[in-house]
Amino acid sequence: MGRAFAYVILGGGVAAGYAALEFVRLRSDAAAGELCIISDENVAPYERPALSKGYLLPEGGARLPAFHTCVGANDQLLTADWYREHGIELILGTKVITADVRRKTLLTSSGETISYTTLIVATGARALKLEDFGGSGSDAENVCYLRNIKDADKLVSVMRSCPGGDAVVIGGGYIGMECAAALVANKIKVTIVFPGKHCMERLFTPKIAEFYENYYASKGITFIKRTAVSSLEISSGKVTTAILRDGRRLQADMVVVGIGARANTALFEGQLAMEKGGIKVNGQMRTSDASVYAVGDVAAFPVKLAGGDVRRLEHVDCARRTARHAVAAALGGDGDIDYLPFFYSRVFALSWRFYGDNAGEAVHFGDPDLAASPTPKFGAFWVNAGRVAGAFLEGGSAEEYAAIADAVRRGAAVKDVAELARQGLAFVAPRDGRSGAARSRSGGLCGRCGGGGGDRPTYAWHATVGVAAAVSIAAFAYWYGWKAPYVAKRDS
């Protein structure tokens, strides 16, 4: 028993939806049944980051079909009907157990063999479990992870079972910080535990982290840093106490674990080249096998901005962009991806964005003082070899975010870091349609983004994603976890 398709997308997450939409736009004359999507989830692709905010709201939480792809980019809503109307086969609730790249076949758990001419691997990543770090307790009724709708449903159910209770959040990265905010909104007391010196340690500087930790503390959230959860006490199938490595005991009515993710590469180990924990691809997102592409969390690709260094980026914007680029390449496009690394978040009354690479010297600007303003505007530039390599901004406008993105993409020259700190946003602030650092350059705010000019960059997703998403799905936040060893390994 088997079926054959010209194009197969393996995976049903964010990247799959954006790849399908790009396919339809570029191949409007495609025959019905030319493309299929295979997913182990039972629903059409959706904006997965919605699960960590909008889905968890105590009232009026987001539910499908409201956040199917591609509403996160202020684009079409791709329901199951949309796929049928465009002749795309959705093979849902189906797990692929083996892949044979040489024979171009996939074997499903039901015993069906699916063959392809071109394969796009969009298998994403899985949430790391306590057991991955030598711990235990993942199967307890009140221990929650967050990667898919099933996880989110469990988290909602557990939150509703313990109003006013105590939650222990393991992990101080994207998922930990985002879930902590959702727990507070649901009237649950929160303690965040992680071994690092500060939250979001892979991205935030100590000064930036201090602001967010103080803000969270003002919401009643407690941080316990430089230690880890060594074990969980379980009674009648539920965690009652989290025991820390330093001996402290924390009462726990529920536990949320956000300790990173691992790319789902197992099907292709030994068949495709691997790097940085993912499937290595070239600038067209093509793997070491010419008939296979990889996109999203699972893809390790060269980043031009980083001198061609291969990176694997676990963030929704990367999933969207790499998916579109892979489809274009598979259908005959010849350009290499030129991706500007981009991360962002909105939580409580806060909103920040980061562009580029946090390499080099961090030059802070603005005043992150909660006493002066409940929503201050501040940020940092990272200066490497005399040029802006990265930029972070909290509380900016669409124009200001676009301006710092442009400075990073251009590698704006910095002669004096002290002067840069003094100028802050004035270094890139729009003036007569141009950034302060680029007044002598043509092409407007985003002169290297392919035209457009003025104060509306043509790299529109980078520049306007927060505004567009706010219109489409106002309550959603787009945060993903960062890898970190948040759970102490047991002694062997």
Asked if residue 272 and residue 155 are part of one domain, the reply reads: no
Picking from 302, 330, 358, the residue at the C-terminal end of a domain is 330
Strand partners, 118: 7
Residues 247 and 266 grouped into a single domain: no
Is 409 found in the same domain as 384? yes
Specify if 64 maps to a domain. no
One domain for residues 356 and 321: no
Residue 337 lies in a domain: no
Residues 247 and 324 reside in one and the same domain: no
Q: What per-residue string of b and e applies to 204-241 under the rule 16 or more CB within 10 Å gives b?
A: bbeebbebbbebbeeeebebbbebbbbbbebeeebbee
The CA-to-CA distance between both ends of the chain, in Å, stands at 47
Q: Work out how many domains the chain is built from and give that number.
A: 3
At residue 431 the predicted structure's pLDDT band, cuts being 50, 70 and 90, is: low
Average pLDDT score over residue span 64-75: 95
Answer for the pair 304, 338: CB distance below 8 angstroms, yes or no.
yes
Q: Is residue 484 part of a domain?
A: no
- The CATH number covering residue 361 comes to 3.30.390.30
The mean pLDDT value of the chain amounts to: 88
Which of 390, 341, 332, 318 is CA-nearest to residue 361?
Answer: 390
Residues 122, 22, single domain; the answer is yes
Q: Say yes or no to pLDDT of 64 above 80.
A: yes
CB of 87 within 8 A of CB of 34?
yes
CATH number at residue 313: 3.50.50.60
Tell me, what's the pLDDT at 478? 32
Confidence of residue 371 (pLDDT cuts 50, 70, 90): confident
Question: Are 359 and 409 members of one domain?
Answer: yes
Query: How confident is residue 451, by pLDDT bands cut at 50, 70 and 90?
Result: very low
Of 305, 330, 355, which one is at a domain's C-terminal end?
330
> Where is the domain boundary, 228, 259, 290?
259
**C-alpha 47: how far from its chain's center?**
10
Whether 74 is covered by a domain: the verdict is: no
pLDDT tens profile 186-232: 999 999 999 999 999 999 999 999 999 999 999 999 999 999 999 99
Same domain, residue pair 155 and 104: no
pLDDT of residue 372: 79
Does 11 map to a domain? yes
Q: Are residues 346 and 295 in the same domain?
A: no
Residues 141 and 242 in one domain: yes
- Residues 265-307 have pLDDT tens digits of 999 999 999 999 999 999 999 999 999 999 999 999 999 999 9
Instruction: Give the domain extent around 414.
Output: 342-458
- What is the band of 430 on the pLDDT scale with cuts at 50, 70, 90? low
Same domain assignment for residues 112 and 190: no
In a domain, 83, yes or no: yes
The answer to whether position 51 is within a domain reads no
- 443 and 356 inside one domain: yes
- Residue 477 in domain: no
